[in-house]
Structure 1
Amino acid sequence: MRHGQSLGNASGSIDSSTPGPVLSELGQQQAEALVGTLGDKNYDAIYASTMVRTQQTAAPMSSYLGLPVQVLAGLQEIEAGDYEGTPESEAASGYMQAPLAWSLQGNLDARIPGSIDGNEFNDRMGGALQTMYDNGDRNPIVFSHGAAMMFWTFMNVDNLTAVQKMELLGQSLSNTAYVVVEGNPEDGWTLVNWNGQEFSPERTFGAELRLQIRTLSRQWQAAAESVGTSLATHDPVAIATALNRGISDAGFSLLKFNRAVTAEVIERMEKATAKSVPASRVSPAASDEPQESEVDLRAAVTPVEPVVARQEARELVKAGAPQRDTAVTQAAEEAPERAESANAVSDVTGSAPETAISKLKSQLKKDADKDTVKSRIADRRESVRAKVGATAETIKSRLGVKPQRGSSSVKAGAGSSKDKGADSRSSDSGSDGGSDGS
């Protein structure tokens, strides 16, 4: 929470001195108003910087919640150095140049003339937050300063992109504006709310990559420590075992790292693709009422004529399947119905008619190949039956055994071609029904 208006703010000059100016009359009113706005959040601790204006802003909240104001070093405003006392209106071209480099370029070595660099600032703010965490406080309210709050947030949260940071720079934190972050010094921080603007908790890709690198480093460190412990034993067997296990663990850790990063890339690409899909490619079922543009697109699709589909199917049959295959001929006859189905698909997806015809050809070709194979299997089955029947008759003849009437094997082997053709068709029908038992 930024402090209320101070006399320094009212003067329009930069004042980062400690203890610094007190609140103005307006600042006192702003501090009182905070109780009505945030007093029922049930904070478990109240912290303020070493500058008096934050302590005065925290006082009404302290009285309302019955909690003391804990003054904590490290939360104070970024020291202006050589820019102390200069107009606040000129801060962007002077005082703020180094903090912008810290937060947008990652250049923590940039230094404010006569003051601190990014490393020193981040360490002192991080140290104050670590103290709160070590105290066991999990829902504190912290009274600090505009520049300190803005640039620490930019430097430490894991769900802000560079574009979002640039947008927030244009929304400077006015007096008693607030920023809500969640997390801890160990696992990192996430921006939840920027003075009323909610933010997604999803990490940026860079933050996710840093997290995975940290995880990999810790796993490798654990493997190395295990090997180091074994070396202290001076036992060759223990050392060899630890080395093998360490190498195996390190390799497995790298594998998990690669899997995690790859999965993250794929997930983000899928989300980006889903967001970029135009409305015309979405099924009408996705909304209660189709939009006018969707209706126009569907009406613009030229339907596949049944006659054209029939001719395409027949040409495919002639090119890729035997003429005697009745199943393929039936598929050709069903081409208009398939065409109508293709039209229905093109209506929903916006696919061109040529694409529907191409898919129809491909499906018919698959059907032709499938039914041709079934026919050949049936023919081969009948041939085997005939040979087995003939062999059986030969053996019986040599043994002097008289053939029995009504034998299905003899009938299959010695029947007419007409009977054989009937059996073949029956087999085809059984195959289409999925019960040929092959």
Structure 2
Amino acid sequence: MHCTRIVAIRHGETAWNRDTRIQGQIDIPLNNTGHWQARRTAEALRGEDVTAIYASDLSRAHQTASAIGQALGQPVQIHAGLRERCFGIFQGRTWAELEASHPDVALAWRRRVPDFAPEGGESLLTLRERVEQTFAELAARHLGEQIVVVAHGGVLDILYRAATRMDLQAPRTWALANASINRVLWSPEGPSLVGWGDVSHLQAPESAQSLDERLA
């Protein structure tokens, strides 16, 4: 049986992550901590047998992937199907602002209503279709190989649900940390979980905070 091993990485931290501001498809770059996380992730993957590296075309994912590509000697290939969910008119707001101004929308979001979409945005059903099609396409290109995919929290949430056969509306009980390493095996029967939420490579003597202070 030919399977594809997928190492799925969430991008490093951004200033908007710290502010709990909804990024969606707005192109926000990594902050200093995010760059540090990207380098640590690259070092953690150095020496692994990787055939290809794919990333969302948003800079926070592409910057993270570029650090990994440098460590592995691989170019980064862009795939727009790996973009974060589009949150429409709510992009740029904090969750607190959204709950204060649109409590009904916030409640639908919290309950993970599958067909709910903010104006100009994507529903969970639309996101799931896009993400699952993208991963199936990439897996089919690399049967018997291992690839690295750098994307976003919403994208990796869908990947986890697909690999564990978890319903879209099930409450999230798994981590989606910035720069976490997550492993999935994609077979003809679909994806299965190998490992999730590894952040051991980010537990270093030199803290990201100290790096932020030096580079500020």
Q: Conserved in 1, the CA contact under 8 Å of 2:56 and 2:78?
A: yes
Partner of residue 5, structure 2: none
Partner of residue 4, structure 1: 12
Partner of residue 38, structure 1: 45
**Among 134, 137, 145, the residue aligned to 2:140:** 134
Partner of residue 51, structure 1: 58
Letter aligned with residue 61 of structure 2: T
Instruction: Map 1:18-417 onto structure 2 (within 5 A).
Output: 18=26, 20-88=27-95, 94=105, 97-98=108-109, 101=112, 108-136=114-142, 138-154=145-161, 156-158=162-164, 160=166, 166=171, 169-184=172-187, 186-196=188-198
- Spell out, residue by residue over 1:207-235, the C-alpha distance to the aligned partner (whole angstroms, 9 max, x if none): xxxxxxxxxxxxxxxxxxxxxxxxxxxxx
1:161 positional shift: 8.1
Partner of residue 203, structure 2: none
Q: With CA pairs under 8 Å and 6+ residues apart, which has the higher RCO, 1 or 2?
A: 2
1:24 positional shift: 0.6
Instruction: Give the structure-2-normalised TM-score.
Output: 0.73
- Spell out, residue by residue over 1:126-152, the C-alpha distance to the aligned partner (whole angstroms, 9 max, x if none): 222133123225311110011221134
- Spell out, residue by residue over 1:53-110, the C-alpha distance to the aligned partner (whole angstroms, 9 max, x if none): 10100112111211110100111111111321221456787568448536xxxxx433
Q: 1 or 2, which has the higher strand percentage?
A: 2
Instruction: Give the structure-1-normalised TM-score.
Output: 0.38
Partner of residue 285, structure 1: none
Identity, in percent, stands at 24
1:5 positional shift: 0.9
Q: CA 1:180–1:89 in 2, change beyond 3 Å: closer, same or farther? A: farther
- Spell out, residue by residue over 1:307-347, the C-alpha distance to the aligned partner (whole angstroms, 9 max, x if none): xxxxxxxxxxxxxxxxxxxxxxxxxxxxxxxxxxxxxxxxx
Q: CA 1:17–1:177 in 2, change beyond 3 Å: closer, same or farther? A: same
Distance 2:69 2:128 in 1: 27
Distance 1:39 1:171 in 2: 26
Letter aligned with residue 179 of structure 1: N
For the aligned residues, what is the CA RMSD? 3.0
1:29 positional shift: 0.7
Q: 1 or 2, which has the higher helix percentage?
A: 1
Q: Conserved in 2, the CA contact under 8 Å of 1:2 and 1:143?
A: yes
Partner of residue 210, structure 2: none
1:28 positional shift: 0.7
Q: CA 1:45–1:99 in 2, change beyond 3 Å: closer, same or farther? A: farther
